[in-house]
Chains A and B, each alone.
Chain A
Amino acid sequence: MFTDIIEMFQLEFIRNALIAGLILAIICPMIGIFLVVRRLSLIAEALSHVSLSGVAAGLFLQKQWGLLMGMNPIFMGMIFSIFGSLFVERVRKLYHSYQELALPILLSGGIGIGVVLISAAGGFNADVAGYLFGSIVAIKEEQLIMTVIVGVIVLLFVLLFYKQCFSISFDEENAILTGIPNRMVNLFFIIIVALVISSAIQVVGTLLVSSLITIPVATSMQIASSFRRTMIYSIIFAELAVMIGFFAAYSLNLASGGAIVLVSISIWIVVVLYKQIRNKLNGRAIRSE
C-alpha cells in the first residue's frame, strides 16, 4: 500500500491533481455552508451546468473556427458561470416569493446550450466526458495555478466577509438593519460561488461538483452546534473524501469524481448512523434515570 502511495506521488499530474483537490476541499465546503443554510445548495448544481455550457462553447470555438486555441475551455466555463450567477441574482429579485425558480431556468438553460454546442461541434468526445465526470489525468500545471488563485480569492473573501455572510444567512432583514451592505455582499458571494464551481469541475466533474460543496456540510451539520465548527468539520470531511477518493481512483483505476463523491457519501452515512445510535443511547440513559 505504501509503495502504491510513493509511486503515485512520483507522477506530476497526480501531485497536481491532489494539491488541486485538497485546495478545493477547503474552499468548496467553506462556500457551501453559506449556500446550504440559505437553502441555495441547488445553485451549485445549476452553475456547474452553466460552466459546462461555457466549456462546450470554448471547445466549439476551438474545433469549428480555431479560435482561442491556447486557452483552457475551463476559463470560458468560468465566464459563463459568472454571468449565470448574475442571472440568478436578477431572477431572484424578479420572483421575490419564488426565488428558487431561477435555478431550474438556469440549470435547463445551461444543459440546453451545452448539448447544442457539443452536438454542433461533432458530438461527445473524451474531453467532454472528463468535464462531466472529472478526471485526475486532466489536471495540468495551468489548472493547478488557477485553482491556487481561486483558493486565495475565496480565503480572502471568507476572511473579510465571514461576519456579513453569517448575518445575512441567519436573518437578512436584521443584517440590513444593522447596516450590512447585503446587495454588495450577495453579489460578491455569488461570483465567488461561480469561480469555485468552475475550478472544481476539472476534479470532480460537472455532474458531481455540487456534492463537494454540500455533502461535507450536510455531514458536519449532524454533529456540530456552532457555525464555526460546522465549517471546520465540513473542511475535514471534504479533505478526507478527497484523499481517500483520490487514492481509490488511482489504485482501482476509477473516475476520480465518482470515487470522491462515494467516499463523501460513505462518511455522511457513518456520521448519521453514529448520531442516531448516540441519540438512542442518550434516550435510554435518560429513561433509566
Chain B
Amino acid sequence: MSQYTVKIEDVSFAYEVQPVLKDIDLKMKSGEFLGILGPNGSGKSTLVKLILNLLKPQKGNIEVFGQPVQSLKDRSSIGYVSQKANSFQRGFPATVKEVVASGLYGKLGLFRWMKKKDFEQVDQAIEQVGLTPFAKSNIGSLSGGQQQRAFIARALVSKPKLLIFDEPTVGVDTKSVSEFYDLIKKLHQQEQLTLLLVTHDIYSALSYVDRVVCLNKQLIFDGDKEAFIRQDKEILSRVFGDVQGTPYLHYR
C-alpha cells in the first residue's frame, strides 16, 4: 500500500494542441489538507479531472490509494464537489434526501436497493452538514449555501477517504463561504479525511489548509503554509502575473 493518497508523476495534458499542464509532480499524504491555488485557466480544474479519471493524461502517471487511477475499483472512496454542482436545473423535482442518496447509487449497483442501513447513512450525511430540517425540502428551494452543503453531503454519504472540492465558493455569499470553510475544517478534524481544495480564493483558503500548491500550467510552488506566507509576494507574482494593487497581496 502506497503511503500517498494521491501520487502524480510527470503528468502533462493538452486539449487538442493547447497545452494545459506540463510536467506536474505532486504527492498527497493521507489526512492532509491541500490547497491548490491559481488563476482562471491555470489548469487547476483539469488537474482535478485527471485525478478523478474524467480526463486521461498524454504523459505521466496518476495513482490514487496506490492504484493507477484508471483501474481504481472503489470509486466511492473519492468524494467530489464540483464548481458546477449548484448549476443544476432549479426546478428539478428532487428533495435533499434524494440528492444525497444518489451519492450511494454507484456503490449499490444495479440489483441492490436502498436498505435501512443506507437510509441511515444518508440521514447521517445530511446531519453532518447541518441540513436535517431541510431533508424533505426540494433542493431548488434552498439557498446557494444550503445547496452547496447538500452536495457536500452527497459526496460524504459513501464515506470517502479523499474529498475533492473544485472552486466550491464560486457564486456563494460571504457568510456561506465562511460557514463552508468551518464545515470542511470540522470534517477534516473529525473524519480524518484527506482534503484537496482547488480555489483562486487565497484570502479564505489560507487560514484552513496545511499545504499550498501554486499552479499556472506548471507547478510554481509546493510547500507548507508558513513557507508560502514568507515568500508570498514573489510566488503570487509568478502565479498571477503583476499583483500590485490586486487583492491577492492583502489576503493576510
A contact set with B: CB distance below 8 Å: 33, 37, 39, 160-161, 163-164, 166-167, 170-171, 173-180, 220-221, 224-230
Q: Once the chains are docked, how many angstroms separate the CA of A37 from the CA of B91?
A: 9
Contact A37 B92 (CB under 8 A): yes
CB proximity of B36 to chain A, nearest CB, Å: 18
Q: Is the CB of B102 within 8 A of A225?
A: no
Known: A220-B93, A224-B93. 10 other contacts (CB 8 A): A37-B92, A164-B110, A170-B99, A171-B85, A173-B84, A175-B106, A178-B102, A179-B106, A225-B141, A226-B93
Q: Which of B75-83, B225-233, B234-242 contacts A (4 or more CB under 8 A)?
A: B75-83
- Chain A interface secondary structure, helix, strand, loop or mixed? helix
Closest to A165 in B: B105
Cβ of B111 under 8 Å from chain A: yes
Q: Which residues of B contact A226 (CB under 8 A)?
A: 93-95, 97-98, 136, 138
Among B75, B91, B114, point to the contact of A178 (Cβ < 8 A): B75
A225 near B95: Cβ-Cβ < 8 Å? yes
Can you show 28 pairs from A to B with CB atoms below 8 A apart? Answer: A33-B93, A37-B89, A37-B92, A37-B93, A39-B89, A160-B111, A161-B110, A163-B102, A166-B94, A166-B105, A167-B105, A174-B102, A174-B103, A175-B106, A177-B52, A177-B75, A178-B76, A178-B102, A179-B76, A180-B106, A220-B93, A225-B136, A226-B93, A226-B138, A227-B93, A227-B94, A227-B98, A230-B93
| Neighbouring B residues of A175 by C-beta, 8 Å | 102, 105-106
Instruction: Tell me whether B169 is interfacial, beta carbon within 8 Å.
Output: no
Given A163-B102, A166-B105, A167-B105, are A177 and B89 neighbors across the interface (CB < 8 Å)?
no
- A residues near B154, Cβ cutoff 8 Å: 174
Nearest residue in A to B154 (C-beta to C-beta)? A174
Cα distance A224–B136 in the bound complex, in angstroms: 11
- Do B137 and A225 touch across chains, with their CB atoms under 8 A apart? yes
Contacts of A178 on B, CB cut-off 8 Å? 75-76, 102-103, 105-107, 158
CA distance A174 to B88 in the complex (A): 12
Q: Across the interface, which residues of B come within 8 angstroms of A228, CB to CB?
A: 98
B247 to chain A, nearest CB (A): 31
Indicate whether A167 sits within 8 Å of B98 (C-beta atoms), given known contacts A174-B82, A176-B54: no
The docked-state distance in angstroms from the alpha carbon of A234 to that of B245 is: 57
CB within 8 Å for A170 and B92 given contacts A177-B54, A180-B105: yes
B107 to chain A, nearest CB (A): 7
Docked Cα-Cα span, A52 to B103, in Å, equals 40
A215 to chain B, nearest CB (A): 15
In the bound complex, residues from chain A placing their C-beta under 8 Å from that of B92 are 37, 170
Indicate if B220 sits at the interface (CB-CB under 8 A): no
Q: Are B106 and A221 in contact, CB atoms less than 8 angstroms apart?
A: no
Collect the chain B residues with CB atoms within 8 Å of residue A221's CB.
Answer: 91, 93
Q: How far is the CA of A175 from the CA of B95 in the complex (A)?
A: 17
Task: Give the shortest distance, in Å, between B99 (CB) and chain A (any CB).
Answer: 6
- How long is the Cα–Cα vector from A195 to B106 in the complex, in angstroms? 27
Distance in angstroms between the alpha carbons of A205 and B203 in the assembled complex: 61
Q: A226-B136, A227-B98 are in contact. Are A163 and B85 (CB under 8 A)?
A: no
Cβ of A160 and Cβ of B110 under 8 Å apart?
yes
Residues on the A chain within 8 Å of B84, using CB: 173
B144-166 CB contacts (< 8 Å) to partner A = 154, 158
Tell me, in angstroms, the Cα distance from A52 to B92 when the chains sit together. 32
B170 at the interface (CB under 8 A from A): no
Chain B nearest CB: distance from A94 CB in Å? 17
Output the residue of A163, A173, A178 with the most chain B CB within 10 A: A178
Interface presence of B108 (CB below 8 A): yes
Contact residues in A for B89 (Cβ distance below 8 Å): 37, 39
A230 nearest in chain B by CB position: B93
Residues in B with CB closer than 8 Å to A229 are 93
A32 shortest CB reach to chain B, Å: 12
Interface string of B104-121 (1 = CB under 8 A from A): 011110110110000000
> Are A173 and B54 also in contact (CB < 8 A) when A164-B110, A179-B75, A226-B98 are?
yes
Indicate which residue in B76, B98, B107, B110 contacts A166 across the interface (CB closer than 8 Å): B98
The contact string, 1 if C-beta is below 8 Å from chain A, for chain B 123-140, is: 000000000000011100
